[in-house]
Amino acid sequence: MTYRLPPAVGEALTNAWLVGPATVGMLVLIFGPVLAVAVLSFTDYQLGAQGFAWIGLENYTVLFTDPIGQRAVVNTLIYVAIVMPASMILALLVALGVHRVASWNATLAGVLRTAYFMPVAGTLVAMATVWQMLMHPNVGLFNQVLGLTGVPGQEWLSDRGIVLYSLAVIGIWETVGYNMVLFLAGLTAIPEHLYDAAEIDGVRPGWDRFWTVTWPLLGPTTLFVLVVTAARAFRVFETVATLTQGGPGFASDTLVYAMYREGFVYFKAGYASAVTMVFFVFVLTLTLVQFGVLERRVHYR
């Protein structure tokens, strides 16, 4: 006779068996490294060094008091403040347009969708090289065109007052396509009969219709897009690394680039870990706030 486990224990074991591997993986691959980075951020560890010393909160104090550290934090916040709303509003407009086009010409809508999605599908590093050529002060297309119209050209990537905004424009260009696809999916999911019902209730087409039906029903999509866009914008790195290396004179330094620079160019692994933790807390807080505040206002059907 075989011994039978009590049903509750058996179920618990099955659960453990099913959830276990994923949990272990998460602990080992995500929580472990985060913990290691958190610990390192309290040391002066140098990449490749034989030892290290505990220096408490010094790395964090430096990050928030050193002008270069502050610059990275502020630059990132400015970048996010531009890219997040701009890329979302533009993406929504484009999605509404493409959705409308799809109702009378599916092929054209497909072409438009592909065109807007291209920046997402392409390698950003390769795309950045193209932007670098476009924004070249002497031979770039932008300044050539400006020259034809008599407007003086700008140093898009080497003027300290402009460079961050140039990168933001590239950031928007890169994000719009991705957000558009998400909004399109949201739009397609809105049932047609709701529009019919709204029409019968006397809602006029256009703005009225958008405000009473489309926008509330896009709520969950918008929340998701908001979270994803924020995380993407905070992560800005490739364009900085390929186009400006944070320069000139730290004018386009951002958190993730600073993290890379401190850790892998300057070999200050301890300090880079502190930057990583700050970045981590930023993104985590932002996501929690977004979920906490907005979740309550979003209609899920």
Partner 1 sequence: MKRILFAILVASFLAAGSAKAADVTLTLHYAHPNLWAKVQELVADAFMKKNPDIKLEIQAPAENYAAGVQRLLREAVAKKLPDVAFLGLNRWRILQARGLAVELGPFIGDAAKFEAQGYTPALRSLGQYQGKQYAIAASASTLVIYVNPELVAKAGGSVDNFPTDFDGLISLATKISALGDNIDGVWVSAHDWRFQSMLGSYGGRPMNEDESNITFDSEAGINAARLYSRLGKEAGMKTYGGKAARQAFAAGTLGIYIDSSSYLTRVVAGAGDRFKVTLLPLVVAAKDKSTVYFPTGGSAIVMLTRDPKKQAAAWRYIQFATGPEGAKTVVENTGYAPTNELVLKDKSYLGEFYARNENSRRAHAQVAAYSGPWYAYPGAEGVAVTDLIGAALVDVIEGADPEDRIKKLAAEVRTKLKMK
The encoded tokens of residue 74 equal: 């502020």
Q: Where are the beta strands (DSSP E) in 75-192?
A: none
CA–CA gap between residue 205 and residue 203 (Å, rounded): 7
Comparison of 43 and 175: residue with beta carbon closer to partner 1? 43
**Contact positions vs partner 1 (CB under 8 A):** 44, 46-50, 132-133, 136-139, 143-144, 147, 152-153, 155, 157-158, 160, 244-245, 247-250, 261-262, 264-268
Nearest to partner 1 of 46, 287 (CB atom):
46
CB of 191 to partner 1, least distance (A): 52
Least Å distance, CB 126 to partner 1, is 14
Q: How far is the CB of 144 from partner 1 (least distance, A)?
A: 8
Kindly tell me which of 133 and 189 has the beta carbon lying closer to partner 1: 133
- The residues, ordered by sequence, that sit 6+ positions from 85 with a Cβ below 8 Å of its Cβ are none
| 118-124-130 Cα angle (round to 5) | 85
Strand partners, 43: 54
Measured from the CB atom, is 7 or 161 closer to partner 1? 161
Cβ of residue 273: shortest distance to partner 1, in angstroms? 14
Which residue number, 216 or 247, has a Cβ lying nearer to partner 1?
Answer: 247
Interaxial angle between packed helices 124-134 and 141-148, expressed in degrees from 0 to 180 and rounded to the nearest 10:
30
Whether residue 165 contacts residue 171, with contact meaning beta carbons closer than 8 Å, is answered with no
**106-121 and 163-188 are packed helices; what angle lies between their axes, rounded to 10 degrees?**
140
Q: What is the DSSP string of 127-153?
A: HHHHHHHHT-TTT-HHHHHHHHTTPPP
Q: Least distance (Å) from partner 1 to the CB of residue 153?
A: 7
Dihedral angle sign, alpha carbons of residues 70, 72, 73, 79: positive
Buried b (16+ CB within 10 A) or exposed e, 259-278: bbbbbeeeebbbbbbbbbbb
Q: Shortest approach of partner 1 to residue 78 CB, angstroms? A: 19
Peptide bond into 248 cis (omega under 30): yes
Closer CB to partner 1, residue 195 or residue 267? Answer: 267
CB atoms within 10 A of CB 194: 15
Give min distance, CB of 120 to partner 1, in A. Answer: 25
Residue closer to partner 1, measured from CB, 54 or 215: 54
φ and ψ at 54, to 5 degrees? Answer: -80, 130
Is there a contact between 184 and 98 (Cβ–Cβ < 8 Å)?
yes
State the minimum distance, in angstroms, from the CB of residue 135 to partner 1: 9
In the complex with partner 1, which residue's Cβ is closer, 47 or 108?
Answer: 47
